[in-house]
Chains A and B, each alone.
Chain A
Amino acid sequence: KNQVEQSPQSLIILEGKNCTLQCNYTVSPFSNLRWYKQDTGRGPVSLTIMTFSENTKSNGRYTATLDADTKQSSLHITASQLSDSASYICVVSAQGQAGTALIFGKGTTLSVSS
């Protein structure tokens, strides 16, 4: 069964600190892995998308890694800001499965406090 598990479920950090969010998946056949940021009451916004051959990808203070062998990904946030408070969603895409091709994790809720 295709699944995406994220940890931790929630996280509280102080402004300026770094943090790492985890995503483990069992999706086959794998196509790509995406990280989204969802602010409260808003739609998800794409941060990164990585294919099988990509190990790391950065978008400003966000750096995503992918280990296709162990089927794990992480999202590292550097020098956190209050505006980073949001839910971070890992989404894994399976090849050729139409609408159910995208498998969503439940997200990690990050709270950045001053």
Chain B
Amino acid sequence: NAGVMQNPRHLVRRRGQEARLRCSPMKGHSHVYWYRQLPEEGLKFMVYLQKENIIDESGMPKERFSAEFPKEGPSILRIQQVVRGDSAAYFCASSPLGPDTGELFFGEGSRLTVL
């Protein structure tokens, strides 16, 4: 059973470009979470999705950021018109149950660098 798969592992973008980060959850997991981690900082919650639905996006900036988890295919975190402050590691996690009871399994992260 493969773990949570994230790609790309590393992404470099220039200011103003778009970044798309993909996350395939573990088999059988319908709950997906996205977190952002800045250097020397803890993980910060961004968005929680459950197949085709956004359950909680309270941690996601209102502009330029969007997330989806379609019926088929991976979850995608999309950042439009990137700025240098978007440079960070973005981690995806999945669980078979909701966040307060289900164990979370993390991917290896996607490291975005904005030039």
Contacts and interface: CB of A to CB of B under 8 A. Distances in A.
Interface of A: 31-32, 34, 36, 41-46, 49, 89, 93-102, 104-107
B104 A99 contact: no
Contacts of B57: 99
Contact of A99 (B99, B105, B106, B109): B99
Interface in B45-80: 45, 47-48, 55-59
A99 B56 contact: yes
Given A93-B99, A97-B100, A100-B59, A46 B105 contact: yes
19 contacts: A31-B101, A32-B101, A43-B93, A43-B106, A43-B108, A46-B103, A49-B103, A93-B100, A95-B100, A99-B59, A99-B99, A100-B45, A100-B56, A101-B99, A102-B45, A102-B104, A104-B35, A104-B44, A104-B45
Given A42-B109, A43-B108, A89-B42, A99 B58 contact: yes
Contacts of A49: 103
A96 B97 CA distance: 12
B100 A32 contact: yes
A89 B101 contact: no
Contacts of A99: 33, 45, 47-48, 55-59, 99
Interface of B: 4, 33, 35, 41-45, 47-48, 55-59, 91, 93, 98-101, 103-109
Contacts of A107: 42
Nearest to A4: B42
Contacts of B35: 104
B42 A104 contact: yes
A99 B104 CA distance: 12
A107 B38 CA distance: 13
Contact of B100 (A31, A36, A43): A31
A49 B101 CA distance: 10
Nearest to B57: A99
Contacts of B105: 46
